[in-house]
Structure 1
């Protein structure tokens, strides 16, 4: 039996980076009733868990409390499926991610517009990037906002610890230019990473948009720990959703419009379960077709990524009391034939984990911007609570392999010039494996184990290198990886993973395109009262972490839904573009 909970103008499915924005903006109109449904726990003001507020994200990221533990993904066609950490808590990914506030490049959004998403070029989206932010370091000028809900800040070079200065020295030695602002200087170079943080505390979208004043609105109703079972369809019209409580109670939320904000892996799954997707595949699962939209679940993109560690001598270690670990990043060009400029991204962290072992290891992330490879999300069952099959297919296009190979070579040269160590064996490949993740969970047992392992790393270099090769790299050395092209490509294929930037699975585009799922305001083609608003809409993954672009998408669509014009792009035409 279903109990009708209430009737609303808007029901928002998912309280993540987009859902919180929409709940805040839509409920600002008193005559509009809004329901926000989140499958995970709520984090109201004054009750945000300390682990979520912490500037250092890895403890919350490595646990299972605030993610979907059954959601897995295959990085490549030949790899095993592994847990793909997606937020299940108010704020979604913004409550568990590294807090990177990276917009990407103007070309990313101009490409959206050129590929069928009219109205989403750089000049169109810039007003909404400005609207969402309060930039602490660059509050003035045409490219930044000063009074938005999300604070943006950087740790500037004069405050960098020795590890970051060594990394920067290695970058400069290899010709990298110094940039101040990655969100306003669009050429290659290294820079202090921008992140969404205030007073060294995380600012999720739940904190930024669902503040105490917003929660007092009588027309906003927030429901947590309710999992949406299905979208209620009458023909091609969405009439709301049915959600299930932890105790098994089934509640029906009726709505004039249903807005799906469940992320690029779960949003397409919800549509397919409602009969919106590839008709033949739905039929094979016994799901009645409502709309034949074969693009649902396709066009899945993530940044193909690799990680590396470097043993840190005591002078390069940062105290665990200093929480912010990621400070320095870089954007550069692979030089691979027929590929774009600024197609690689490199970030660093002063520690690899929260514990005594992690504090002895610096961390490097390398990924491909604007990947060419495409994956997909598929249903494996009509069961509404069965996790979808996720195939990232990260290296289907050889250009992504070639670009990562070029990036690894550049990183090796940067590390060699950094002064971090005279012994190249202190630099080694790392993997975010289930074993590493298990060791990264906060517990007294892990603290004791990692304290011992940390002490072992401080033994003489021959013993340290033997331990690293035995327990971390299983005999793989960077010298052998870099020795020839085949060895490097084999290493990349064995170790690549996604960096949790899933996007593109309900992409915006013209209704005449069979691959397009929604129009440029997130409305599902052919449906009534059904909209998708999250990273699923991105036609192509931008040269950025997805959190800030997803917030921007929600801001822009909320504005269109409410018919507002004060932030319309036409009023902002002609804003100067900075090129570097």
Structure 2
């Protein structure tokens, strides 16, 4: 047996250097009296395409920066399996995602407070946490913060086509919005992004880099977590590999899993905390039978409708020649402007699937481009994509490890469109897209539906079409969900402590009991801020006691 490298003992060990892990490393190591070890299974964030915003096209699906997971083939997707990107680099998904700065709706957090029985998760209580991290381009006001690490800026380009789509949405009854982050995001407007001067602003840049010179913070990359070690019901440290070599470290106060909605439940399951029958089949000794570890998986399924157009510029045309690409590169190099600063989506629309909805339950990401899927070339014809997702799906999926070996990918089954309510809403969403595109504002461009195609008309046909064109928008949450004191099935409590063991928390998107009504990266920053504050408060209380 190979020797096990002893990394030593630390007050806190953080498993995962993604969005949550970077925030936690900064906030915990700000106390010079504690020591912190941050373990990241991926590599350094030193590749050029991690910093140029449009580089997501080269990072998603690339094993250098993406774990390249695949989902199980699913009936809701008409038997398809799809790519499931997760960041494999410092900064995690914030280093490869769409950079959209989105909190969700006030109702999301009030619902969390009701589910957990803890008012600290209400909108009123989390808003100051959001503001505390933020550096908003307009400056501080009652809804936004200034001077924080998490930079939020306007996008640095515009498209006539997207301006016309915004007009069409207003003609269809959706109001204009200049800020989606004030608690009710109903409306149409430009997404704001986590960029700084036209460069991607990841959690690694915002939170980790400023802390790396602290002597009490140690970082290890290419450090893949195998499992946590447990003695007498308490987590005492972690087993991991560094560049393939076995290692271990011990934690004196707490260990935190911050490996995301797929990684954190996998670590728990390999540690013997999870569905007992499944763990037994894999030969893993059961420490705690916790059936909901890996359950409750929720994600936004985007339905990518594509329309051919003429008489207007799209990225398909602009990037379709060597000259066009050269000019885009020159514009970015000289001015940090143009298509290379593009987030995957520039225009957002938050709409209601029916008049009975109190708040928006649909989100659009509208793009002046089209392709079959991420990683494929742009189409050879001018077109735009209007992707729409159900913000609050009823379907629930799961993720489970497939082996005790951490090198084996887990099984991931989001169970998209498995709930009849989601199928009905998908049909409504596609119909609404057609209604928007049919408005006078877009008529000069003669939009023609390319996908799914005009042959799909009835509710059942549209629901089937949704299974053909649907794909993830990369927002998995909920697999280590928080619950109230009387909820014995919840994986974590309202302070994100793992039930049934001590010295262990999960602090990342997996603790969300329900999916936020929008993109999930900024909510993960907030969760990590809240988690770090709870941990530091517990330490102060222990010192006083």
TM-score after normalising by structure 2 = 0.88
Give the alignment of 1:139-178 within 5 angstroms.
139-155=139-155, 160-178=158-176
Greater shift after overlay, 354-363 or 195-204?
354-363
**Residues 1:352 and 2:370 aligned together:** yes
Contact 2:104/2:517 (CA < 8 Å) preserved in 1? yes
Question: 1:92 — aligned with what?
Answer: 92
Question: 2:206 — aligned with what?
Answer: 208
SS at match of 2:395: coil
SS at match of 2:27: helix
Deviation per residue, 1:276-302 (Å, 9 max, x gap) = 112233223222111222211111100
Contact 2:72/2:412 (CA < 8 Å) preserved in 1? yes
Question: 2:484 — aligned with what?
Answer: 510
The one of 318, 333, 350 aligned to 1:331: 350
Aligned-partner Cα distance in 1 for 2:70–2:300: 18
Contact 1:504/1:541 (CA < 8 Å) preserved in 2? yes
How far apart are residue 505 of structure 1 and its match? 0.5
SS at match of 1:154: coil
Identify if the C-alpha distance between structure 1 residues 187 and 261 changes in structure 2 by more than 3 Å, giving closer, same or farther.
Answer: closer
**Residues 1:343 and 2:361 aligned together:** yes
Aligned-partner Cα distance in 1 for 2:67–2:20: 18
Aligned-partner Cα distance in 2 for 1:195–1:73: 32
Superposition RMSD on alpha carbons, in Å? 2.2
How far apart are residue 418 of structure 1 and its match? 5.7
Question: 2:83 — aligned with what?
Answer: 83
Question: 1:233 — aligned with what?
Answer: 230
Question: 1:470 — aligned with what?
Answer: none
SS at match of 2:385: strand
Give the alignment of 1:31-430 within 5 angstroms.
31-43=33-45, 48-56=46-54, 57-74=56-73, 76=75, 79-118=79-118, 119-137=120-138, 139-155=139-155, 160-184=158-182, 186=184, 188-211=186-209, 213-246=210-243, 248-256=244-252, 257-313=254-310, 315-318=312-315, 319=318, 321=328, 322=338, 323=340, 324-325=342-343, 326-335=345-354, 341-352=359-370, 357=379, 360-417=382-439, 419-420=441-442, 426-429=448-451
Contact 1:351/1:358 (CA < 8 Å) preserved in 2? no
How far apart are residue 66 of structure 1 and its match? 0.4
Identify if the C-alpha distance between structure 1 residues 418 and 146 changes in structure 2 by more than 3 Å, giving closer, same or farther.
Answer: farther
Contact 2:104/2:185 (CA < 8 Å) preserved in 1? no
Aligned-partner Cα distance in 1 for 2:100–2:22: 18
Identify if the C-alpha distance between structure 1 residues 373 and 336 changes in structure 2 by more than 3 Å, giving closer, same or farther.
Answer: farther
Question: 1:557 — aligned with what?
Answer: 531
Contact 1:74/1:390 (CA < 8 Å) preserved in 2? no
Identify if the C-alpha distance between structure 1 residues 356 and 399 changes in structure 2 by more than 3 Å, giving closer, same or farther.
Answer: closer
SS at match of 1:12: strand
Aligned-partner Cα distance in 2 for 1:181–1:359: 33
Aligned-partner Cα distance in 2 for 1:238–1:418: 62
SS at match of 1:315: coil
Contact 2:305/2:469 (CA < 8 Å) preserved in 1? no
Deviation per residue, 1:533-580 (Å, 9 max, x gap) = 100000000101110000100001111111299xxxxxxxxxxxxxxx
Structure 1 gaps, min length 5: 430-475, 566-580
How far apart are residue 245 of structure 1 and its match? 2.5
How far apart are residue 226 of structure 1 and its match? 1.5
Identify if the C-alpha distance between structure 1 residues 488 and 55 changes in structure 2 by more than 3 Å, giving closer, same or farther.
Answer: same
SS at match of 1:107: helix
How far apart are residue 416 of structure 1 and its match? 2.1
Contact 1:312/1:420 (CA < 8 Å) preserved in 2? no
Aligned-partner Cα distance in 2 for 1:193–1:144: 15
Deviation per residue, 1:359-401 (Å, 9 max, x gap) = 8332221000111110111222223322111110111211111
Aligned-partner Cα distance in 2 for 1:232–1:373: 34
SS at match of 1:342: coil
Contact 1:394/1:498 (CA < 8 Å) preserved in 2? no
SS at match of 1:63: coil
Aligned-partner Cα distance in 1 for 2:48–2:72: 29
Identify if the C-alpha distance between structure 1 residues 514 and 275 changes in structure 2 by more than 3 Å, giving closer, same or farther.
Answer: same
Aligned-partner Cα distance in 1 for 2:223–2:440: 50
Identify if the C-alpha distance between structure 1 residues 564 and 194 changes in structure 2 by more than 3 Å, giving closer, same or farther.
Answer: farther
Aligned-partner Cα distance in 1 for 2:230–2:311: 61
Question: 1:572 — aligned with what?
Answer: none
**Residues 1:9 and 2:7 aligned together:** no
SS at match of 1:516: coil
Give the alignment of 1:464-479 within 5 angstroms.
477=453, 479=454
Identify if the C-alpha distance between structure 1 residues 310 and 418 changes in structure 2 by more than 3 Å, giving closer, same or farther.
Answer: farther
How far apart are residue 164 of structure 1 and its match? 1.2
Structure 2 gaps, min length 5: 320-327, 329-337, 540-545
